[in-house]
Amino acid sequence: MTRKNKKSVLCFVFLLTFCSQLAFSQLTSFTLSVTKTDVTCTGNGSLTFQVSGTNPQASVVYSVFLLPNLTTPLAVLTATTLNGLSAGNYHVVATQTLGNLSNVQQQDIVIGGAVIPLVYQLSGSNNSCGNGIITVNVVQGYASTYEIISGPIVRPSQVSNVFSGLTPGVYVIRVYDTCSDAVVQTYTLSNSASQFQIISVKVPECELNFCDTTRIEVAIFGTTINYPLTVEYTVFPPSGTPIVINQTVSSGGSPNETISTAIPFYNAQNYSCNIRITDNCGNIITSDANPIFKELSLEAIQNPQLCNKNIELNVCSFLPPFTVSFISAPSAFNPTLFNNNHPGPFSISPVSYESSGTNQMPVGLYVIQITDACGRSAQSQVTLDESVEPGFQILPTGCGFGQVSMPVPGGSSVASVIMTGAPLGYNHVLPYDVSFNISGGQFVMMNLPVGVYTFTVISTCGQTYFYTINIPPATPEALSSSFIRGCEVGEGSIKLSFQFSALVAISITVAPATFPHPLPYNVSFNLFGGVFYMNSLPEGIYTFIIKDACNFERYFSYNVPGYAVISDAVVLEANCGSFNLLLDYRVSETAPHNYWLQKRDAVTGQWKHPITGSPYVTGTDPTATNSYALSNNSNNLNIASVGSFRVLKTNSIYGNGNPNLQSCFKIVKEFIFTGAPKIITAYNLPCTNNSGNVVIVAEGLAPLSYSITTKDNQPFNVNNGNQITFSGLLPGIYNFQVKDVCGNIVNQLFDLNSLPLPNISQSILCDGQNGQLMVQGFPFLNYQWYKGTNPTQILSTTSTLNFTPFAGSADSGIYYVRMYSAIPNLCTDQLLSYTILNSGSAPEAGNGTTITVCGSTAIIDLFSLLTGTFNTTGIWEEITNSGMLAGHNWLPVGVPFGEYQFRYHVDGLCGSLDEAVVVIHFNNIPLPPTATVNPLICGSESIYLSASTVPSSTYEWIGPNGFSSTEQNPVIVSASALSSGTYTVTAKIGTCPSSPSSVMVNVENPPQFQMTHTCIENENIIIVDPIANSFDPTIASYLWSGPENFTSSENPITITGAKSGVYRVTVTTLNGCSTSATVAVTTTLCNFPAGISPNGDGDNDILDLTGFEVLKFKVFSRYGRVVFEQDNY
């Protein structure tokens, strides 16, 4: 191609490109702004679009894509808002169109958030009559309105979470959240009478109100006592008709109060009283047949703690004041000498007569009578001695040792004890003052060897007494025994011990037939500190041979009672959103038992507190922190929790060789309570016309109602009533809604393209036992079962195929069930198969895997995630709770990002099974970062790449010449032309990458040139010429500098006659890259005159040859004669 033709082609290409850009540029560029509303309810996310700078006559269309799908838009619309969106990453393209012209703007945006289900607890109090209170305490989610839809009192919707002015009864509370989802709970507001009770009834001793009345005291308890109280006392006298006494108590305290009144007194006779109390709310409590026995009595004693001789009179049930008379006494006795107030009247008891230093009461017999204000009398007698001795007691304390104590009960206290005699070999010098063993007038001395001792004892009254005490030889001590039944039924635990001695050896010689060890059985390993502890003994009679520390051996027989369960009733009463638990668990053991409710964590399998979620550690004693305490023999009301539960019973028995009691744990009952309706799954029963019959399988408090609210995020209302089957549905994603009788509502999306057919499962396929194959039973379907080897023999026409009994050798093989319907619009006819494995064939569930799914909303076939060999007849279940599993397909639409777990369970013969777990990490796709670079890059300069920040992300850059980097903002130092090209960055959250973002980098080499200083046509010039076409000299810019402030922007430059010296030029290309260079100029002249005439006229006055590099120089005169000559001048 000639240079001319080449230029022509380039001009044509440039013109074509320019014209194309001109056509698009006829629509001015515009801006797009997209805002979002995050998801707080199912499908309530939205995007709002706003454009500016558009042509007024142009139309704008918005295409919305759900990333990573950039092929098929989720919606195409002209409206500026798109509603009904789930959480996810969206890409919006706005297209401006005017006639045949169009241009676009685009933006990525993330709709975040997740649906937070409403969870609340109810609490109540019945503080006073008709003013009970129920409070809704929201634990999770956002409540908007509250209402009572059933109960003794119904309340319309209100914004307050407190209902007051309620009477006792069963209430159904419905709470709507901000998503218009409703959660209903039942709550029983208890009658305050359940907390209002009589805790004791007593008649004070030795007290009368009047001659014929005494006082009765009634102690009551109530969380809230509603005054005034009306009290009715019915007294049943020893004879005659009952006497009714009424009392009104206008006020008092809570929670404890004691009320009293006067009732008849019958001396020394048995009678009783019934109590009936009615509070201001009409609540009634009673206590019947309270026994009463009181009698007039007088007791005369000599008080041993008083050193002077004395008589003390203790009066009971006499009405003061009373008088005292001495019916008989020693002749020298004058009562007024010993009590100045004799004979009374006296108002308090006791009444004392006591000797003084000058007056001593004579010893002898006294007969004394007392007479009260009612004229009633009683007599008592006492013999007065000179003094009351301390007395002593002897107790054995070990092998050949004993204990001496003083005084005996009723004896005088001791002040000094001296041991004056002791057996031979006693290790103390006598007499031996042992008074250091006295404390508070009580003397106790232990570990005295066998033998005879004499003591001199001085009482606190100064009286001296002499005691001879014989410590007898040791004898076998009586064995103390006790038992606690349990842990298991028919078992017991025992404890054997001595008071003073210790067990050193023990064996079992006789035991029940169920005892698991050969006899005799040495159980000395269960001794601790001389005490024997052993549990898990089968009930029955045991004979032990025991040896104590005194070396005494004996046989001991003991009947160990067994643990028995009399009643284990645990009744679940399901309510709306809560349940009651009636617990009636009775056993033969009277030791304390505790009962606890725990809830199983569906993910970890750990048991927890059903309300707070605090974890329980297996094998430890439950507490109110990690378990919910249950009351036995009562109905435990208003337990608002759902899931899998158990009732755990705990009690204690003796340990094995351990003084600490050992805890017993027994699971009394396990059960599941769902509380609200739950959509279990959905099945597709397709018709031949390609329309769908969808069966919704749900559970909850019946009757349930079924409906559809949306199709493909658009309103689509179908009210199906109580019918579980929806007919005539075309492919799409539908939101199905189920409502229970309580008004609870749940929603779930199903993609009709992913719904499975019903599946066959097995139960108890064991040789010799009854077993069966089962398929989901629906009343609108007909069933026909047959074996593959004999299709004409119909084995069953129900949803169950029974084997009675199962025989693996004959019954293994492939079975089919035909499911069909003759009902109009239910045109399904399906054939399912199931293989019963041969005996010895193990079930195979394959191997689970863990994968990461990046923001995709496509259906995931869980079978595709199994590896190895697996049967396809198993059952998939979700361990987590997304609620989006249908058969073996999981639809990750509208679920929060996170980890989801699925278990595949395959049954084999006779209980054999295999399981695999698939884990899906459902991660968000990060927004693509914006890639930028510094605007001008010339060779040897640095490239500064930059990516906008994407939260929680890492970065990956790739580019030309093998470039890669994980930095957000990498720098390439000393770039060259090899660094030119496209640089692409992606952001990653985990392993999920964003869409790539690219930037073009053009690294331009700096201009390379040579400078030529020459003369052309007698002009001195400097010219810049490019080297190897490194730049276009015609469009480059030049900046010259030189001597005497020389500047220029031309190329070449003419410096004829200018100052010689260094000239500098900077060449800059059109893209801004520059290179500088210099040249030394020795002369700026290109010729010189043929002669010289230095006459001062300014014309050829001088001859300057600087810079001409003269090889030979000669000067001639006008006559041709050489006047000067020099080489290399």
Residue 891 has pLDDT above 90, yes or no: no
Query: When comparing pLDDT for 1124 and 595, which is higher?
Result: 595
Do residues 1053 and 1040 touch, judged by C-beta distance below 8 A?
A: yes
Answer with the residue of higher pLDDT: 1077 or 178. Answer: 1077
Fold designation for 23-111: Immunoglobulin-like (2.60.40)
- pLDDT tens string 336-361: 999 999 999 999 899 999 988 788 89
Matching residue, tokens 């009678």:
271
**Cα 678–Cα 684–Cα 688 angle in degrees, nearest 5:** 160
Q: In what order do the strands lie in the sheet with 88-98?
A: 75-77, 59-66, 88-98, 101-111
Residues 906-952 pLDDT 10s: 988 887 889 999 999 998 888 888 888 887 678 778 889 999 888 88
Give me the mean pLDDT over the 531-550 stretch.
95
Residue 547 pLDDT greater than 50, yes or no: yes
* CA dihedral for 85, 90, 96, 100, sign (positive or negative): negative
Rounded to an integer, what is the distance from CA 753 to the centroid of its chain? Answer: 36
E strand intervals along 31-99: 31-37, 45-52, 59-66, 75-77, 81-85, 88-98
- CATH class as words, domain 480-560: mainly beta
Confidence band of 132 (pLDDT split at 50, 70, 90): confident
739-783 confidence digits (pLDDT tens) = 988 777 888 888 888 788 888 888 888 888 888 999 988 888 999
257 pLDDT exceeds 90?
no
Nearest to 286 by CA among 192, 193, 169, 191: 193
Choosing among 3.20.20, 2.60.40, 3.30.70, 3.30.160, the CATH entry for 1009-1081 is: 2.60.40
pLDDT at 1108: 62
DSSP string, 100-152: TEEEEEEEEEEE-------EEEEEEEE-STT-EEEEEEEEES-EEEEEEEESS
Q: Map out the domains of the chain as residue ranges.
A: 23-111, 119-190, 193-292, 297-384, 393-471, 480-560, 565-673, 676-755, 760-836, 931-1001, 1009-1081, 1089-1129
Considering the domain 119-190, what is its CATH architecture?
Sandwich (2.60)
Whether 565 shows a pLDDT value over 90: the answer reads no
Element (H, E) at 1115: strand 1112-1116
Contact 379, 394 (CB under 8 A): no
Q: pLDDT of 266-284, one tens digit each? A: 998 999 999 999 988 788 8
The whole-model pTM stands at 0.51
The CATH architecture one would assign to domain 931-1001 is Sandwich (2.60)
For 676-755, CATH gives: 2.60.40.10
pLDDT digits (tens, 9 = 90+) for 999-1017: 988 888 888 899 999 998 8
Cβ neighbours of residue 995 closer than 8 Å, sequence gap 6 or more: 67, 68, 70, 91, 108, 928, 986
d(Cα 328, Cα 412) in Å, to the nearest integer? 27
pLDDT of residue 952: 82
List the beta strands (DSSP E) in 437-578: 438-439, 442-449, 451-459, 464-471, 480-485, 491-497, 503-510, 521-522, 527-528, 531-538, 540-548, 553-560, 565-574
Pairing of strands 45-52, 213-221: unpaired
233 closest CA partner among 274, 288, 204, 196? 274
pLDDT band at 1086; cut points 50, 70, 90: confident
Quickly count: other Cβ atoms within 10 Å of residue 1083's Cβ.
Answer: 20
Assigned architecture for domain 393-471 = Sandwich (2.60)
Strands 132-140 and 162-166 come out as antiparallel
Question: Considering the chain, what is the average pLDDT of its residues?
Answer: 87
Phi and psi based region of residue 638 (left: phi greater than 0; alpha: psi -120 to 50; beta: remaining): left
Lowest mean pLDDT of 177-181, 394-398, 1048-1052, name the range: 394-398
- Quote the pLDDT of residue 448: 92
pLDDT at 689: 62
Name the CATH topology of 297-384.
Answer: Immunoglobulin-like (2.60.40)
State the average pLDDT over residues 156-160: 94
Q: Do domains 297-384 and 931-1001 have the same CATH topology?
A: yes
Contact 756, 775 (CB under 8 A): no
DSSP 421: E
User: Residue 819 CA to chain centroid, in angstroms?
Assistant: 44
CATH topology of domain 760-836: Immunoglobulin-like (2.60.40)
Q: Which of 828, 763, 773 is nearest to 795 (CA)?
A: 773
Q: Which fold has domain 193-292?
A: Immunoglobulin-like (2.60.40)
Reported as type and span, the H/E element at residue 23 is helix 3-24
Of 387 and 122, the one with more pLDDT? 122
